[in-house]
Amino acid sequence: MIKAILIFNNHGKPRLIRFYQYFHQAAQDTSYCKAEDMQQQIIRETFHLVSKRDDNVCNFLEGGSLIGGSDYKLIYRHYATLYFVFCVDSSESELGILDLIQVFVETLDKCFENVCELDLIFHMDKVHYILQEVVMGGMVLETNMNEIVAQVEVQNRMEKSEGGLSAAPARAVSAVKNMNLPEIPRNINIGDINIKVPSLSPF
Amino acid sequence: MALKIVKGSIDRMFDKNLQDLVRGIRNHKEDEAKYISTCIDEIKQELKQDNIAVKANAVCKLTYLQMLGYDVSWAAFNIVEVMSSSKFTYKRIGYLAASQCFHENTDVIMLTTNQIRKDLSSPNQYDTGVALTGLSCFVTPDLARDLANDIMTLMSHTKPYIRKKAVLIMYKVFLKYPESLRPAFPRLKEKLEDPDPGVQSAAVNVICELARRNPKNYLSLAPLFFKLMTSSTNNWVLIKIIKLFGALTPLEPRLGKKLIEPLTNLIHSTSAMSLLYECVNTVIAVLISLSSGMPNHSASIQLCVQKLRILIEDSDQNLKYLGLLAMSKILKTHPKSVQSHKDLILQCLDDKDESIRLRALDLLYGMVSKKNLMEIVKKLMIHVDKAEGTTYRDELLTKIIDICSQSNYQYITNFEWYISILVELTRLEGTRHGHLIASQMLDVAIRVKAIRVFAVAQMATLLDNAHLLTGNMQRNGICEVLYAAAWICGEFSEHLENPVQTLEAMLRPKVATLPGHIQAVYVQNAAKLFATILKNQEGNTDSTAAQETSQMMIDRLPLFVQSANLEVQERASCILQLVKYIQKLQQKDVEVAEEVSALFAGELNPVAPKAQKKVPVPEGLDLDAWINEPPSESESEDEQPKAIFTKEEPKHSRPRHTEVDEKELARRREARKQEQANNPFYIKASPSSQKVYQEAPGVEHIPVVQIDLSVPLKVPATTPSHPTGLPMSDQYVKLEEERRQKERAEKKKKEKKKRKEKRSGRGKKHDSGPESEEDITPAHVVDIVTEEMPENALPSDDDDKDPNDPHKALDIDLDKPLADSEKLPVRSHRAAGAPKSSAEDGEAENATPQEPKKKSSKEKRDKKKDKERDRKRSKEEKKKKKHKHEEKEEDLLGGQAEEPVVQSEETKEVEAQPTSTSAEVSDLDFWLSNAPVPSNTQEAATVAEAAPAPEAPAGTAADSEPEEPKDTETEESKSSKHKKKKQKKEKEEKEKKKKKKHHHHHHHSDGGGEESVQNGTVEEEEPLPPMSNYCLLAENSYIKMMMEDADQVCDIQGNLQDGSQVVVSVIFENKSDSFLKSMEFNVLDSLNSKLQRPEGSGPHDGLTVPFQLPPGVSNEARFVFTVQSIVMPQKLKGTLTFIVKNEDSSTHEKLDFKLHFTCTSYLITTPCYSDAFAKLLESGDLKSSSVRLEGVNMPFHHLLARICFHHHFSVVERIDSCASMYSRSIQGHHVCLLVKTSGQTVSIDAKCDEPTLLGNVLDEIKQTFSQC
């Protein structure tokens, strides 16, 4: 089972969080901790654990104390400015999850056409929708990238045919608002996709 | 209205959307919190509007804010509103928000049940998909119970996209509502063989999750998974299955034996590292489970270790990590194979990657032996000194202790060395494992009697240097060591060299800064020490010494009496009074030492962990019963003080440590140096404590160290010369080595002597090269005191399970037949007690019990919303009713044979299952015992898609029974199917007739159009897909039209035992309003086929049908035919004569028919094992033939199912679009098929030892498919 999926940038700013288990402070502590605060703590802790690691060390480490300690593993990849961290239990294959992260990122790349951090910042909802086609309730749903992309696209088309959330007028306004945006740097460039990870051949 | 909409969308122009929000937050970096709070206010305004688009937009923004850590639970109701929008766009937003912030305690979840149910049954698959995804994140026990049935229906959805999601979510449903597991399991199992790989993978995923927690319940699935493992090419699925086998093998060693070969093959063949790694892992698990040595096991181990070495040597850190991880598993059972790679592992200790170092440490744990323990620990100590970051250093520390203390100090030959290691470890800065070291010290000192003298001396030194340890107390867990030191010095004070000095050290004012529980031990042990001193001093003539000691106690103790800690205070004042009294006595020259030391007499023995737990509760004692009924809450405050005693200790042992970065460390180190420099005690400190700094970098320390070069502690006098620069423990290493060498030399001498004596004997023995484990004897006889156990302790150790584990509830036996009561609740069940039949009444009541609570609370707050909801609800209720009708119809139609909702079907299933399960269990045994087992247990499921898989083995098991009596009555007990058929036939037939009216499908059949005889079912076969059963009958409805008053169905079935017998079962149904009697069945015999008639009757006499038929009733009769040759199809003409009796008249009627014996009706479904099949083909006795079918437009598995069903074949093996099939004729001819498909063309290559038979069978197959 996947317990949580966290995406944050090099400064620990969350870009997407997806918890498949309800984490909250144990009630014994007098200061009862809300789920949101707990989630933020977990993000901080995870960021602390992951960010101090060099890029050339292994991609697995034992989970922090908040997320359940050594019963859980953090499996992560670092792409340009973003960390993709999956917290999993012992039923998942470590290398398999690494590949899954790769599939997920490549899917993002396809859906956003050269994905960069800004895409994730401004379209968190869309990233969630894509993720929902990959992992469901903590279990791997689909690993075939073409299938994932196809399903996402069908749903996007449906949304479009309904007029989308930001229907015509709002979009015009949004376009005006966009004009004075500073130059958006494109491309977090997925970097070397060829990071030598033994891949599961026939995905 | 239109105006309103326009207005709404104009308003919306000024609403922020998600992008605007994000942009705004980024532009307000300085006052982010303030900006967001204004945004939240705006969102609150937006949520109050009627426009759902505005609401959705607001909810979308809230989802983003939730990610930033803002609590959005206040908007839960609005989220539900957005979820229930009819537009996919908004629905998706709503479900996303819900999945992010709903959890079990969110109360509005109760309101979503009907909405989710509606979405689940939506015609738009993406509505369903979104609902499933959302539900997977926030499913509660209530939702799980209410929706389990709907989700189960979705598992058979036409779209694989929905199927796979439905399968996955079932796992969550099981967790929340364990009762659903058994009813849903058969279908879940079916999904393992779903044609869509995604669905299959999902099913494997779910079953693996389930099985991981309660593996024993899933053992019976092993053959199925084995089959999947050997046939699947999806690495994800393979990995899951292989992992699952890893969990199953410990329960069933035979399984392991079966697995080894395919797994080793995979290891050799696969290029995917992830798969390779999991294979190695499972092989290891297998090898662990097989305790006894099988011949080629060492080969497997070698293969694993060798592959792992390759991984570890790889430059990829990930592989290195995993390699080490797997290695540590091998270590547990085959330490020898790992030990040979010690070099590699020690090398990993120097890796720059901390994760890898930690894994290597794990490995070291298992690699130590008496011989190399000291060497390894020495290496680790060097790492401790070098280590950066406290986490890793702490890890090293615990590992050192683990390694040394493992299996009752098995590998320690020299405890002096160990104690000195522990003492060295106390110099670690900022470790949080002080208590660990302390407990080791206590343990060793208590249990190893011989070491006490040494230990006490060491502890005394520690106490003397206590100020070092207390440097910065708050963060320093190491002061825990003083607890142990004080206790040891007190308890074993008779061994102290200079007790007075130690006593003085224990009563220093600085002690008062120690944590309370340590002070308490100090005070108590000061008293013990005092007793010992008195005893020593009273022996002397000079009584003043004793009085001085008493005076010191009296002087120092008041400090502790003032302690804020209750325990310290109490003990100190108690002891103070005692000493005062003693002093008085001393002044009167009374000898008190005896009495004082009597206070502390007796030895304290170690108690085994859990000893208390293991004392059985005496009979008749109820520990949960109140002794005194508790008075009301008023006394709750009194419980407070209790906590002071019990909580004290855990507070200190809790990791209070916070991560410190390098700078901070450096700063602290500087501060400490300053402190040390200013500390008047520092220079006086015992040299042993300074030794450590010799190795630490830092120029300032050098002069300090050089002041004193003497060896700190008493090293046994036998070795006067030792290098002074070494840390203490190293000196012991040296000593130990010397001792060993000496021992060895002595041994050699002895051996030589022996050898000299034995020279004449067997010739020379090998010199035992490197010394073996047993050669090393401990330095001194170590008397390890075992821990005490209560007298009547229970041996059981099963108290480790966590009672809160949700998976405990899922420990359910899945092989037991389903009971009547076990089915998923259908909606109408919600109304407690509402009978199922009166579903509509139930429905009306039903809506109420759940919601009124909710309503009443909300009503006051928001009437408008309430109305809205009411409207919704009434709509939904209408829908429900409609749905209910549909369901009823479905029931009539039969739906799926396994549908547990359908009651009539279910009872049948219950009846059918008992035999099947037993068959299944024995089937597993067969499978595991490598016997040539009917392999079609799995195929059966593939073949008959809709057929309930668990029943399949029943048929085959019965088949393999050699004697099957012709007597039908005994047959009943043999085969569940028989029983079912016999007992239910009548009813079933009727049902089918009814169903037929709905189903006017025209299906193929292999009988001729006009014949009244239909080939098809061999009765021992597994239950057939209901569809096909109808079609058999549909065919007969044709006859019905031609005939007014009688109807016949006929099964022709080969009889296994007698090579020349065929049994024909005929069902007669009276379709007229008249009474039918005196039925006579007659057939014109041919040369080849004859009807078996009772003895004495002539060759043309008819057989009387042994029953009469009232109107509308049907019954079955069986007729036996003898057949000479089976290679050709046969047609027999026959007549049925009967009397139709009305009220007024009775007429004699006649019905002609043709019995068509096809060649396939001579075939008997016989399972065949793939190896046997291969042998058969290789034997060369078979003639081959082939046929091509064009334009076959059906999935391959349907095609196979048809062949199996209509032509009595079984699938031997299926690989992608290619399958081999087997069948056997009643006279023992083997028929083998190889079916391949590409596009719409199916080619069948066949082999048989009887070419004519084969030709006819192929023709018949061709005919079957030409009709569809």
Task: Give the least confident one: B383-392, B528-537, B827-836.
Answer: B827-836
Q: Does B68 touch chain A (CB under 8 A)?
A: yes
Q: Which of B63, B133, B274 sits opposite A200 (nearest CB)?
A: B274
**pLDDT average, residue stretch B630-634:** 65
Task: Give the least confident one: A49-58, B135-144, B357-366, B1027-1036.
Answer: B1027-1036
Query: Which of A30-39, B299-308, B318-327, B829-838 is the most confident on average?
Result: B318-327
String of DSSP letters for B697-733: --TTHHHHHHH--S--S---TT-----TTS-HHHHHH
Q: Which residues pair with A87 in a beta bridge?
A: A4, A74
ipTM attached to this prediction: 0.87
Contacts of A93 in chain B (CB under 8 A): 239, 243, 274, 277-278
**pLDDT average, residue stretch B1031-1047:** 33
B contact test, residue of A28, A139, A149, A180 with most B CBs within 10 A? A139
Q: Which of residues 223-282 of B touch A (CB under 8 A)?
A: 233-236, 239, 243, 271-275, 277-278
From B197, which residue of chain A is nearest by alpha-carbon distance?
A142
Q: Which of A95, A129, A141 sits opposite B92 (nearest CB)?
A: A129
How far apart (Å, rounded) are the C-alpha atoms in residues B1034 and B484?
89
The reported pLDDT for the residue numbered B694 is: 37
Q: How far is A36 from chain B (nearest CA, A)?
A: 5
How far apart (Å, rounded) are the C-alpha atoms in residues B366 and B342?
11
B175 pLDDT more than 70? yes
B516 pLDDT more than 50? yes
Q: What is the share, in percent, of chain B residues with pLDDT greater than 90?
A: 10
Helices (H) and strands (E) in chain B, counts: 52, 14
From A144, which residue of chain B is nearest by alpha-carbon distance?
B198
B940-958 b/e (C-beta count within 10 Å ≥ 16 → b): bbbbbbbbbbbbbbbbbbb
Q: How far is B53 from chain A (nearest CA, A)?
A: 7
Q: Does B86 touch chain A (CB under 8 A)?
A: no
Using pLDDT thresholds of 50, 70 and 90, give the confidence band for residue B758: low
Using pLDDT thresholds of 50, 70 and 90, give the confidence band for residue B1244: confident
Using pLDDT thresholds of 50, 70 and 90, give the confidence band for residue B692: very low
Contacts of A53 in chain B (CB under 8 A): 353-354
B857 pLDDT more than 60? no
> What does the pLDDT look like over B1061-1080, one tens digit per residue?
777 777 777 777 777 777 78
How far apart (Å, rounded) are the C-alpha atoms in residues B397 and B407?
18
Q: How far is A200 from chain B (nearest CA, A)?
A: 5
Q: Are B984 and B908 in contact (CB under 8 A)?
A: yes
Q: Does B310 touch chain A (CB under 8 A)?
A: no
B47 pLDDT more than 50? yes
> What does the pLDDT look like over A92-132, one tens digit per residue?
888 999 999 999 999 999 999 888 888 899 999 999 999 99
Q: How far is B19 from chain A (nearest CA, A)?
A: 5
Do B9 and A14 lie within an 8 Å CB cutoff? no
A21 pLDDT more than 50? yes
Query: Which of B594-603, B746-755, B1026-1035 is the most confident on average?
Result: B594-603
B635 pLDDT more than 90? no
Contacts of B63 in chain A (CB under 8 A): 124-125, 128
Q: Higher model confidence: residue B980 or residue B73?
A: B73
- B321, with CB counted inside 10 A (0-12, 13-18, 19+), is buried
Do A174 and B17 lie within an 8 Å CB cutoff? yes
B1187 is written with which tokens?
Answer: 């046929």
Q: Which of A58, A125, A139 sits opposite B205 (nearest CB)?
A: A139
B107 pLDDT more than 80? yes
Task: Give the least confident one: A172-186, B521-535, B677-691.
Answer: B677-691
The reported pLDDT for the residue numbered B166 is: 94
The reported pLDDT for the residue numbered B169 is: 94
How far apart (Å, rounded) are the C-alpha atoms in residues B1142 and B303?
84
Q: What is the share, in percent, of chain B residues with pLDDT greater than 70?
A: 65
Which residues touch B1227 (CB under 8 Å, ≥6 apart)? Answer: B1059, B1060, B1126, B1162
B747 pLDDT more than 60? yes
The reported pLDDT for the residue numbered B785 is: 60
Task: Give the least confident one: B164-173, B462-471, B1204-1213.
Answer: B462-471
**pLDDT average, residue stretch B824-837:** 49
Residue A131's alpha-carbon distances to A12, B96, B138, B170, in angstroms, are 20, 11, 17, 20
Do B278 and A143 lie within an 8 Å CB cutoff? no
Contacts of B74 in chain A (CB under 8 A): none
The reported pLDDT for the residue numbered A47 is: 92
Crossing angle of the two packed helices B852-861 and B839-850, in degrees rounded to 10 = 50
The reported pLDDT for the residue numbered B5 is: 52
The reported pLDDT for the residue numbered B1021 is: 35
Using pLDDT thresholds of 50, 70 and 90, give the confidence band for residue B213: confident
Q: Is B1093 helix (H, G, I), strand (E, B) or coil?
A: coil
The reported pLDDT for the residue numbered B826 is: 67
B63 pLDDT more than 80? yes
Residue B892's alpha-carbon distances to A105, B1051, B1069, in angstroms, are 50, 25, 21
Q: Which of B57, B66, B322 sits opposite A36 (nearest CB)?
A: B66
Do B20 and A177 lie within an 8 Å CB cutoff? yes
Q: Which of A35, A62, A177 sits opposite B103 (nearest CB)?
A: A35
The reported pLDDT for the residue numbered B550 is: 87
Q: Higher model confidence: residue B532 or residue B1175?
A: B532
Do A165 and B57 lie within an 8 Å CB cutoff? yes
**pLDDT average, residue stretch B1249-1254:** 84
Q: Does B15 touch chain A (CB under 8 A)?
A: yes
**pLDDT average, residue stretch B805-822:** 70
From B244, which residue of chain A is nearest by alpha-carbon distance?
A91
The reported pLDDT for the residue numbered B1159 is: 79
From B275, which residue of chain A is nearest by alpha-carbon distance?
A200
Q: How far is B518 from chain A (nearest CA, A)?
A: 25
A contact test, residue of B318, B350, B802 with most A CBs within 10 A? B318
Q: Alpha helices, DSSP H only, in chain A?
A: 35-51, 94-112, 117-122, 124-134, 145-161, 168-179
How far apart (Å, rounded) are the C-alpha atoms in residues B1170 and B227?
12
Using pLDDT thresholds of 50, 70 and 90, give the confidence band for residue B1250: confident
The reported pLDDT for the residue numbered B946 is: 37
A contact test, residue of B350, B355, B394, B810 with most A CBs within 10 A? B355
Q: How far is A31 from chain B (nearest CA, A)?
A: 16
**pLDDT average, residue stretch B638-656:** 42
| Beta carbon pairs, A and B, within 8 Å | 203
B116 pLDDT more than 50? yes
**pLDDT average, residue stretch B317-336:** 84
B354 pLDDT more than 70? yes
> What does the pLDDT look like over B937-983, one tens digit per residue?
344 333 333 334 343 343 333 343 444 344 434 343 444 444 444 44
B1007 pLDDT more than 80? no
Q: Which of B67, B278, B352 sits opposite A14 (nearest CB)?
A: B67
Do B15 and A174 lie within an 8 Å CB cutoff? no
B469 pLDDT more than 50? yes
B973 is written with which tokens?
Answer: 């007990």
How far apart (Å, rounded) are the C-alpha atoms in residues B740 and B738?
5
Q: Higher model confidence: residue B130 or residue B331?
A: B130
Q: Does B168 touch chain A (CB under 8 A)?
A: yes
A contact test, residue of B235, B237, B351 with most A CBs within 10 A? B235
Task: Give the least confident one: B137-146, B264-273, B1039-1048.
Answer: B1039-1048
Kindly report the three-state secondary structure assignment for every residue of B967-1029: CHHHHHHHCHHHHHHHHHHHHHHHHHHHHHHHCCCCCCCCCCCCCCCCCCCCCCCCCCCHHHH
Contacts of B19 in chain A (CB under 8 A): 122-123, 174
**pLDDT average, residue stretch B501-523:** 86
Q: Which residues pair with A7 in a beta bridge?
A: A16, A84
Using pLDDT thresholds of 50, 70 and 90, give the confidence band for residue B470: low
Q: How far is B280 from chain A (nearest CA, A)?
A: 13
The reported pLDDT for the residue numbered B1044 is: 32
Distance of CA B231 to the CA centre of its chain: 24
**pLDDT average, residue stretch B893-914:** 41
Using pLDDT thresholds of 50, 70 and 90, give the confidence band for residue B40: very high
Using pLDDT thresholds of 50, 70 and 90, give the confidence band for residue A147: very high
The reported pLDDT for the residue numbered B936 is: 41
Q: Higher model confidence: residue B1060 or residue B345?
A: B345
What integer best gives the mean pLDDT of chain B? 71
Do A137 and B236 lie within an 8 Å CB cutoff? no
